[in-house]
Structure 1
Amino acid sequence: MSLAILLSALLAGCASHDAGSHPMLPRTAAKTAANNDKKPAFQTAFYVGSHGWHTSIIVPRSAVPKGAWPAGVVDRTFADRRFIEAGWGDRTFYMAARPNVATAFDAVFLPGASVLHIVGLDPPIESAFAWTGLVRMPCSPAELRNVCDAIGATFASDSHHKIQELGPGLYGRVSRFYPADGRYYFANTCNNWTARMMRAGGFAADAGPAGTWSAGAVMAQARRLARARTATFNPRGGTAP
């Protein structure tokens, strides 16, 4: 296996979206999300998304508690969007116009600064991107607030306790980069972060190597956990015995 291929595989947790796939263009709905939507659900939900090697969390903008995210993110920058996608990764690699083997090597083997990529989306979520996977995670309002709080806790402030935009995201005005807490390297990737967000939402996701070694492993967890929750939910009387 060549070094380039090896690094690409290890970067499964922070590979960026395809910049040619604009979130406003209609795309084919993900089968997983469509199947989940047919099943009984809790009062609300968040989503786990996959863009090939990268995973992310999608929440309704209205569900973000006041003050949980930096000032202006919810009420100004993305005020006209119904949903917000959050993805975490290596700052240099994620923001690079043309990432190469050198930036990939540094991201994998040299723990470095991280970044949050925030994208504003409109429904239907299933057609916002050409997702390689999308899973609806049914949850209670309290669990959804916990997910939003956990994402909010990932934003990193400067020495003046302020959070500044790092610049436009991969999709222009509908996306932004923000500094994030945590150091990215091969044992702490986007997939680990996504699993931790799932845990914040009340799902027993494995955030260790076995459950996060690839985006596919994270999505498999999400599908299994979502199915287990909907299978035990009785819409007439809460949780089935």
Structure 2
Amino acid sequence: MVGCASQQADMHGGPFRTRTSTATSNYPGLRRQSAFYVGSHGWHTSIIVPRAAVPGDAWPAGVLDRDFRDFRYIEAGWGDRKFYMAPRPNVSTAFDAVFFPGASVLHVVGLDPPVSSAFAWSGLVQMPCTAAELRNVSRAIGASFEADTHQQVRALDRGLYGRVSRFYPARGQYYFANTCNTWTARMMRAGGFPANAGPVGTWTAGAVMAQARRLAKERSSKGTASPLKRNDQRVLTRAAPTPHS
């Protein structure tokens, strides 16, 4: 089984702090420095963007302006609605999610810096990009919401982490060839990274994270992004969680 219809132990664990390993990178070049993150919670992957970088018309009304106005970063992950929102997902709901196309959902979480300390990430890769590419990623996430005719959206329920998270109706159907990992790869492509969004590149979260690390390194070596703060140059590895304060 693949994507967020697999093991969800990390996804239900809540926000944690984690130790990090720092990847030394040098991003010469651009006049404007920007970045988004690709995150992994074990079997599930997501995209993290700075809230201030999201254009005002990119996301449906009611998300950033109402539910997440007090956070600096926003994490978004796409998945099967029934399985993702289940209080106790089991083998039956996982089987249905993978083999029977069903409605999807976006799980949105508000985060404060540093992003690296928000969870016990299984992996977190910073993707250096231009401001325009970051806007494109933000718009691609926004297009994933299933908004009404007035371009508004209402949360279906609180998310996995209580008041700092929400579930929203999303576009597209989830099944084995269109998972959370597929969605994450498509978001990377929106940011100008030639990620493989096919089954080979997205069969597991590990495959997506390997792509993210490789693509970020390639962009660094080509000098297509500008220097970022040392504390943000991170590729995280699994670490024992400690409570988030």
Do they superpose with TM above 0.5?
Answer: yes
RMSD (CA atoms): 2.0
Matched, 1:27 2:15: no
Runs of 4+ in 1 over 6 A off after TM superposition: none
Q: 1:228 to 1:134 in 2, by over 3 A?
A: same
Matched, 1:163 2:167: no
Paired with 2:131 and 2:80, the residues of 1 have a C-alpha distance of 31
- Partner of 1:156, secondary structure, is coil
Aligned partners of 2:62 and 2:152 also within 8 Å: no
* TM-aligned CA deviation for residue 177 of structure 1: 0.2
**One-letter identity of the residue aligned with 1:128:** A
* TM-aligned CA deviation for residue 101 of structure 1: 1.2
Bigger mean CA offset, 68-77 vs 13-22: 13-22
Aligned partners of 1:17 and 1:54 also within 8 Å: no
Give the corresponding residue for 2:85. Answer: 95
Question: What CA deviation, in whole Å up to 9, does each residue of 1:12-48 have, x standing for no partner?
Answer: 344446355332x42222x3xx315x43265110000
Paired with 1:86 and 1:166, the residues of 2 have a C-alpha distance of 15
Give the corresponding residue for 1:110. Answer: 100
Matched, 1:77 2:64: no
Give the corresponding residue for 1:59. Answer: 49
- Partner of 1:117, secondary structure, is strand
Aligned partners of 1:17 and 1:170 also within 8 Å: no
Higher relative contact order (Cα pairs below 8 Å, separated by 6+ residues):
2
Aligned partners of 2:188 and 2:195 also within 8 Å: yes
Question: What CA deviation, in whole Å up to 9, does each residue of 1:161-198 have, x standing for no partner?
Answer: 54221010000010000000000000100000000000
Aligned partners of 1:13 and 1:214 also within 8 Å: no
Q: TM-score scaled to structure 1, two decimals? A: 0.87
**One-letter identity of the residue aligned with 1:22:** G
Bigger mean CA offset, 66-75 vs 38-47: 38-47
Question: What CA deviation, in whole Å up to 9, does each residue of 1:141-165 have, x standing for no partner?
Answer: 0000000000000000246754221
- Partner of 2:2, secondary structure, is helix
Bigger mean CA offset, 113-122 vs 149-158: 149-158
Which of the residues 20, 23, 26 maps onto 1:39?
Answer: 26
Bigger mean CA offset, 107-116 vs 225-234: 225-234
* TM-aligned CA deviation for residue 80 of structure 1: 1.2
Q: 1:162 to 1:82 in 2, by over 3 A?
A: closer
Paired with 1:160 and 1:148, the residues of 2 have a C-alpha distance of 19
Runs (5+) with no aligned partner, structure 2:
227-245
Paired with 1:69 and 1:183, the residues of 2 have a C-alpha distance of 20
Q: TM-score scaled to structure 2, two decimals? A: 0.85
Which of the residues 133, 139, 147 maps onto 2:137?
Answer: 147
Which of the residues 181, 197, 201 maps onto 2:191?
Answer: 201
- Partner of 1:45, secondary structure, is strand
Question: What CA deviation, in whole Å up to 9, does each residue of 1:194-232 have, x standing for no partner?
Answer: 000000000000000110010000000000000000111
Which of the residues 129, 132, 135 maps onto 2:119?
Answer: 129
Q: 1:17 to 1:114 in 2, by over 3 A?
A: farther
Q: 1:72 to 1:39 in 2, by over 3 A?
A: same
* TM-aligned CA deviation for residue 51 of structure 1: 0.4
Paired with 2:55 and 2:159, the residues of 1 have a C-alpha distance of 23
Paired with 2:56 and 2:5, the residues of 1 have a C-alpha distance of 29
Aligned partners of 1:165 and 1:178 also within 8 Å: yes
- Partner of 1:180, secondary structure, is strand
Q: How many residues align?
A: 223
